[in-house]
Structure 1
Amino acid sequence: MPEPAVLHDQCQLARTGQQPCRDEQHLVIVTGADQVFEQVGRPVPAIFQFGDGRERRTCVQQSARLGPHARTSAIGVEHEKASPEKIALIERQGGKCHFIDQPSAIYDESRRLAAELGGHFMDQFTHAERATDWRGNNNIAESIFDQMKLEPSPEPDWVVVGAGTGGTSATVGRYIHYQKLNTRLAVVDPEHSVFFDAWRDSNPDLVGTRGSRIEGIGRPRVEPSFIGQVIDRMIKVPDAASVATIRYVEDLLGRRVGGSTGTNLWGAFEIVAEMRQSRTRGSVVTLLCDGGERYANTYYDDSWVSAQGMDLDPCLERLNNFHRTGNW
């Protein structure tokens, strides 16, 4: 990649069988389970929301790691178009799926199901921004800046992240302000998600009608953990661009990655190109969010892409041009 701007990727990949990942949703789940058992004193069904495809190494996978609370039955409220691979993964961890046909109904249906079964709606998205101490204590923001200390440009010009719960962008943005850094925060948002429009128009009550096709990011409503005041810029990324990017970088990285990583990289490439155009020396940091193994029948399948009405060629052409010239 042409100087003067350098892109750094922090890898967050975690898989079943490895150590539990240290993310906001997992901490909310474990904390919530502790509170339920203290109050009820017996196992109750734990209701999680997956919605638009955001299981992404949390929820049921993590509920299987609740240690002494493992008898808790986990039920994921999921969109009816969830992939067979994801359903199988949830069931393999001992969970069950409860399907809905409207993504925006996930919240009310989760609460209704919890009341009907005498269970507890974990609502792992609402308090994701406060599950870790954003001032430090080994959170994701502190990890990013610690890893950058020995780099030529240790204080990034930009950090680029996506928004699912809003917890990651809230943690990184708060940390930047708390540490009085000059780093700016950019948040990328996929099609059909409302975060970009809500942030642009200062309308936190905005509600969408469709779920995100990019697993792990994008929501039909503005989650309570999303804090727009700490964000300097948002970039709307077409789903075709996210999918084209993960295909394009497969050879560069030597591995497959998930769609949300493609969204992150597309936004980061745009910023790097702008820095190069303005001859700004510095660094840009983004995240490699998940592996691509579970997307062989979706993002990496030409038939699926065609059925979604996506044309990847213009995006691949732009990526090729960027890689050759540094221009966007």
Structure 2
Amino acid sequence: MNKSRRTQATSGSLAGSALGRYGYLVPIFVLFILVELYPFVYSVVLSFWNKHLLHPNADQFIGLGNYIKMLQSPHFIRAIRNSTVFTVGSVVFEYLVGLGSALILNSRHIKFRNLFRAIVLLPWVVPIAVNSLIWKFMLSPNFGFINQLLAAIGFPHLLTVNWLGDIRYAMPAVIFVNVWRSFPFYTITLLAGLAQIPSDLYEAASIDGASKWQSFIHITLPGIRGVSQVIVVLHIIWTFVNFDVIYLLTKGGPLRMTEVVPTLLYREAFDFFNMGYAAAMGVFLLVVLAITVGRAYTKTSSFQ
């Protein structure tokens, strides 16, 4: 009798503890459903409807109509092209600048390394809105510091260049600003990766007669390959959905030359109130990112 009571008490306590553990997860699941799952499902459903906020009585189910319209739109095709150029240009230069600065700061011959590391972090810790507006002011053709500096060092013909308003320079300018803001993340992350490479490998390579370039190719790059793959994939995602930098600098102009998918989506939703069409763009963007992440994860797993 006592044994059966102990068994029942033990099972009851186990059930109670398990229920308690799962009970702590309930608020998280509720928050996930309200903040993530419901908006996603609603957006998918909305993408199949012709829903316009200015004409609420004209809502109509149109199936794949929004997607067909989107893929046939020259504005959307240009936005995809601009998003690709913006993402590739940003990620490539962010990685190169971040790797270069990480190698410099990782050198034992650099004095005040901690101070320089803190300085390098400044563009990353400054809020995006503040960073973008500062650069918009500095790139101004009338009183911008950049034009004044270029003219002072021997390029007077650049004094009146409108970096953000000229179709030739707008995209390189926004890529430059995005690189300036994002490269510190690469620097700090790659510094952590460089710190994990045993110094004995470099000493052995030096004894064997390897040059610094050979050590970099055969020791440094393989040593930071894992962390490089992670930050590159993350920044491909973050840059492709980047809205604030381009919107604050150019709002997609001039002549839509810097219009990317997020700014076009915003324009359709909140300027033209075409919510169904904007939802279709959002779903398409999510699918593209999911495929990109899946392929990147597959390649990363194959390397490992």
TM-score of Structure 1 vs Structure 2, range by shorter chain: under 0.3
Structure with more contact order per residue of length (Cα contacts < 8 Å, sep ≥ 6): 2
| Larger Rg belongs to | 2
TM-score, normalised via structure 1 length: 0.21
Q: Which has the higher strand share?
A: 1
Q: TM-score, normalised by structure 2?
A: 0.22
